[in-house]
């Protein structure tokens, strides 16, 4: 079974993020859920963005690095939206990554904004909605398509769901989509099961 670290979105480690982790655990996987906001739960995306600016990117990266420091190196890095960027950074820069699950976000892997090249042989699965103003309309979906193209069809998958919601996998938010989330969970568990 896989060892997963799941990073929360910009509204913090909500009960909805914990519920998503529990659904992955129900497949027999170990899922760690670090709280990079030290208990703060912004009520909106804008308040979450303000919080991240107040804390600072360097501090948040340090918190993420500390959160995984004592975990196995062969982790699957997962994250929801803002947390997916953290998961992707670690998958690309921390040796030993076993895979990545990126929910509702994907950073460029080429060009001036890239963290660096995607590590050879590391599988990735990406999920997002086709009209999500952040994922689909700000370029993340294009980055996701590029990444899947680089990784290849055996190791890379992009699943796009109909809808315009962001943070649709969080059952505690108004944007929650139960049907889409059920598909996300099933596909994520199949991905983790393939890792052995």
Domains detected in the chain:
3-194 (3.40.50.1820)
Tokens of 146: 């590029």
3-state secondary structure 42-81: CCCHHHHHHHHHHHCHHHHHHHHHHHHHCCCCCCEEEEEC
**DSSP letter, residue 153:** T
Average of per-residue pLDDT across 107-126: 90
pLDDT tens track for 131-160: 999 999 999 999 999 999 999 999 999 999
Is beta strand 99-103 parallel, antiparallel or unpaired with respect to 30-32? unpaired
Is beta strand 156-161 parallel, antiparallel or unpaired with respect to 30-32? unpaired
CA distance 46 to 171: 19
CA distance 147 to 126: 9
Q: What is the model's pTM?
A: 0.96
């Amino acid at each position: 079974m896989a060892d997963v670290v799941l990073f929360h979105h910009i509204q913090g480690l909500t009960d909805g993020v914990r519920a998503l982790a529990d659904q992955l655990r129900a497949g027999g996987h170990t899922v760690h859920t670090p709280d990079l906001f030290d208990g703060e739960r912004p009520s909106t995306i804008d308040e979450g963005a303000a919080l991240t600016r107040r804390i600072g990117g360097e501090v948040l990266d340090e918190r993420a690095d500390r959160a995984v420091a004592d975990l196995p190196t062969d982790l699957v890095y997962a994250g929801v939206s803002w947390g997916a960027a953290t998961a992707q950074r670690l998958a690309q820069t921390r040796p030993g990554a076993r895979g990545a699950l990126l929910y509702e976000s994907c950073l460029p892997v080429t060009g001036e904004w890239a963290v660096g090249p995607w590590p050879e042989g590391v599988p990735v699965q990406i999920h997002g909605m086709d009209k999500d103003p952040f994922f689909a309309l700000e370029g993340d979906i294009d980055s996701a398509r590029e990444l899947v193209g680089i990784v290849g069809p055996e190791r890379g998958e992009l699943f796009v769901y109909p809808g315009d919601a962001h943070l649709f996998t969080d059952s505690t938010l108004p944007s929650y989509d139960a049907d889409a989330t059920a598909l996300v969970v099933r596909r994520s568990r199949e991905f983790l099961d393939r890792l052995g």
